[in-house]
Amino acid sequence: MSNLGHPLTRINRHWLYGALLAIVVIGLIVPISLPLAVSPEATRFYEAIESAPKDKLVLVSTLWSASTQGENRPQTQVVLKHLMKRHLRFALIAFGDAQATTLAQELAEEQAAIYKYEYGKDWINLGYRQDIAGTLKGMVRNINETLKTDSVNRRPLAEYPVMAGVRNVKDLSVIAEFSASGNYKSWVGLVVGSTDAAFCYAPTSVMAPELYTYLDSGQIRGMLFGIKGAAEYEQMMNEKGFTTRAITPVSLALVLLFVLIGLGNYGMYATKKMEGNS
């Protein structure tokens, strides 16, 4: 960039990083409550869990790691909380990323201690699988034969009360996937047509726009749009957790970006005008 340009085009980038950091810190410390409209897709996700029958199992699939936990962790946490509040049986399963099973286990243990959930009776961890397609095809036929043992005690799944009456995906009420990748295509392609279970998806914000065609066609019942979706879910549950606090700095940071883009464009325009006059 020319040193002769408008001053707005020569702002040191460290000032911009500093401004962003300041807005995030202030937004987290000072609880400014900005209005949050709950989207129809988040409502449908919530209603799928709220209306799930208690005699069926909810499958919670995770495919995220430390790199996207800023969005996927609060999503998973708030839905696990909802499941336990309703006292629904659930099973964890992880695909794609090796960290996913440990992080989901950690979250489930945290919430289980609060809601007195007993491992094996109320919930179970089916572990991590690398082969997504092969595992899903197997689960359509028989979950116990495909996955065989749980991830914590390595005991046969049939021995656990939580798996009673569960043979295949037809015995699930809701399939909820929390993901940092495009794994929904495997679920839609291989599982959704074989069960009446509501398939709900919680992706990172990067991926969410491409899912609207699947929401429109009904292949995906509900969706949580990144951290915003988690905040909406918290609002529906009348909870005030991390995302309710975090959504304010997200909004403030986006306002800052709007302002900076405006200033940058004005700087470019002013530079061109200066060059034209000289």
Partner 1 sequence: MPTAATWSHPIGVWFGAIGTLALFSLIYRENRVYRLFEHIFIGLAAGYLIKTTWTEVLGPQWFTPLFHDGQWPWALVAGFGLLFYTIFSRKHSWMSRIAIGALMGFAAGQAFQTTASDYIPQIRKSFKPLFVTPDQIPLGSGLTTLGIGLNNLLFVFIMVTVLTYFFFSFEQKNKVVAASARTGRLMLMFAFGAIFGSTVMARMALLIDRVWFLMHNWLHLQ
List residues binding partner 1 (CB under 8 A): 14, 17, 20-21, 24-25, 27-29, 65, 67-71, 73, 98-99, 101-102, 105-107, 109-110, 113, 125, 127-130, 133, 148-149, 151-152, 154, 185-186, 188-190, 192-193, 204-206, 208-210, 213-214, 216-219, 225-228, 242, 245-246, 249-250, 253-254, 257
Min dist CB 277 to partner 1, Å, is: 32
Min dist CB 190 to partner 1, Å, is: 6
Instruction: Name every residue whose Cβ is closer than 8 Å to that of residue 102 and which is 6 or more positions away in sequence.
Output: none
β-sheet bridge partners, residue 178:
62, 202
Min dist CB 213 to partner 1, Å, is: 6
Instruction: For partner 1, give the closer residue by CB, 27 or 267.
Output: 27
Instruction: For partner 1, give the closer residue by CB, 6 or 136.
Output: 136
Angle formed by the axes of helices 242-277 and 226-236, nearest 10°: 140
Tell me the C-alpha distance between 173 and 150, whole Å: 20
Q: Which amino acid is at 22?
A: A
Q: In a 10 Å sphere around its CB, with 0-12 CB exposed, 13-18 middle and 19+ buried, how is residue 8 labelled? A: middle
According to DSSP, residue 190 is labeled H
Tell me the C-alpha distance between 226 and 204, whole Å: 4
Angle formed by the axes of helices 99-115 and 69-85, nearest 10°: 40
Tell me the C-alpha distance between 24 and 255, whole Å: 12
CA angle 229, 249, 73 (to 5 degrees): 40
Instruction: For partner 1, give the closer residue by CB, 55 or 118.
Output: 118
Instruction: For partner 1, give the closer residue by CB, 125 or 271.
Output: 125
Tell me the C-alpha distance between 158 and 136, whole Å: 19
Min dist CB 69 to partner 1, Å, is: 6
Min dist CB 239 to partner 1, Å, is: 17
Min dist CB 266 to partner 1, Å, is: 20
Tell me the C-alpha distance between 221 and 275, whole Å: 55
Q: Which tokens in the block code for residue 41? A: 């897709």
Min dist CB 154 to partner 1, Å, is: 6
Instruction: For partner 1, give the closer residue by CB, 173 or 186.
Output: 186
Instruction: For partner 1, give the closer residue by CB, 56 or 228.
Output: 228
Instruction: For partner 1, give the closer residue by CB, 168 or 271.
Output: 168
